[in-house]
Amino acid sequence: MTGKKLLQRLDEMLDAALDGTFQAQTYDESMLSKIEVKMARFLDGAQLRREQIEVEQGHIRALISDISHQTKTPIANIALYSGLLGEQDLTDVQRNLMKQIAGGAEKLNFLIQSLVKTSRLESGIIKVEPQLANISSLIEAAVAENAVKAEMKHIALTVSDSDAGICAKFDPRWCVEALSNIIDNAIKYTARGGKVTVNASDYEMFARIDVADNGRGIKDTDLTKIFGRFWRAAESADSPGVGIGLYLAREIIVSCGGFIKVESKPGDGSIFSVFLSKV
């Protein structure tokens, strides 16, 4: 077989491998036959691994679903009874213990719900469906979800009016959660009396949403880790959270065809920039 024909056959083999129709056709002692047999073995092994991964993912989804279902009632009961206890005549020590119980139940419920959302998103049970829309509604909804938190810390949460008329492709429900998680993160790591600003910019291919704060900032060595699942900086141990909000935010934005960039300097705050595709 000439070099040209060999390359043509290899090209056909790769095309067949990509669309899942590859089968070895040459059965002799030639180099082409050896390549075809090895490719067939490789594709068979890859298919087996995919099937094993799908089975394992199914088990994980079922486990998380069971955990969510089985813990829903106990957590609700703990929240209910702690609320009833709060209405009683308690000592300061008892009231403090009651608040810790209620806070623990709330944190556990948040963690379980976040795990369920992440699992469903990763496994494709829930499809992210981007659609072209004005980003002003996205920003307004995400800011509204965090207004009370900002007020409780006396943080000025402001939105510029630069988003007027800017459109991009995003899933309204899921992207509100993603942007809300980023704003929540900014509020969480900004001291009382600080400020968080949400600003939008229009580009030819993307719409950009900046969430800027004047909080504690992020070390350079941590910038590549902050989107990891359950990752939290050592100095964040005194702050609420379980380290899944930014991970979920990035998964959602990437699923919509966008990406997130971060600029930060310890002591000077951070800027999380969400880029949403317009095409």
**Which CATH number fits the domain that encloses residue 261?**
3.30.565.10
The Cα-based distances of 80 to 18, 74, 112 in angstroms read 55, 10, 18
| Same domain? 104 vs 191 | no
- Full-model pTM: 0.66
The residue among 126, 156, 182 that closes a domain is: 126
pLDDT at residue 262, rounded to an integer: 93
Q: Can you give the pLDDT at residue 141?
A: 93
**pLDDT, tens digit only, all 279 positions of the chain:** 556 766 777 777 777 777 777 676 665 667 767 777 777 777 777 777 777 877 877 777 777 777 777 877 888 888 888 888 888 888 888 888 888 888 888 878 877 777 777 777 766 666 788 999 999 999 999 999 999 999 999 999 999 877 778 999 999 888 998 999 999 999 998 999 999 999 999 998 999 999 999 998 888 888 888 888 777 766 655 565 567 788 889 989 998 999 999 999 888 899 999 999 998
Q: What is the pLDDT of residue 3?
A: 62
Q: Tokens at residue 126, please?
A: 């829930």
Last residue of a domain, one of 126, 147, 179: 126
Residues 152 and 179 both lie in one domain: yes
Note whether 111 and 138 are same-domain residues: no
In the listed set 126, 160, 180, which residue is the last one of a domain according to the structure? 126
Predicted pLDDT at 102: 84
Claim to verify: residue 12 and residue 84 sit in the same structural domain: yes
Give the domain extent around 15.
1-126
Q: Are residues 88 and 138 in the same domain?
A: no
Tokens of 254: 């990437």
Helices (H), the chain: 3-19, 31-86, 92-123, 135-152, 172-188, 245-255
* pLDDT for position 94: 85
Quote the number of domains for the chain: 2
What pLDDT does 97 receive? 86
Same domain, residue pair 104 and 235: no
Q: What span, in angstroms and rounded, lies between the C-alpha atoms of 137 and 230? A: 29
Are 266 and 219 contacting, i.e. CB atoms less than 8 angstroms apart?
yes
List Cα–Cα distances, 195 to 81, 198, 219, in angstroms.
36, 10, 20
Bridge partners (DSSP) of residue 274 are 209, 260
Per-residue pLDDT, 182: 95
Query: Between helices 92-123 and 31-86, what is the axis angle to 10°?
Result: 150
Q: pLDDT at position 187, please?
A: 93
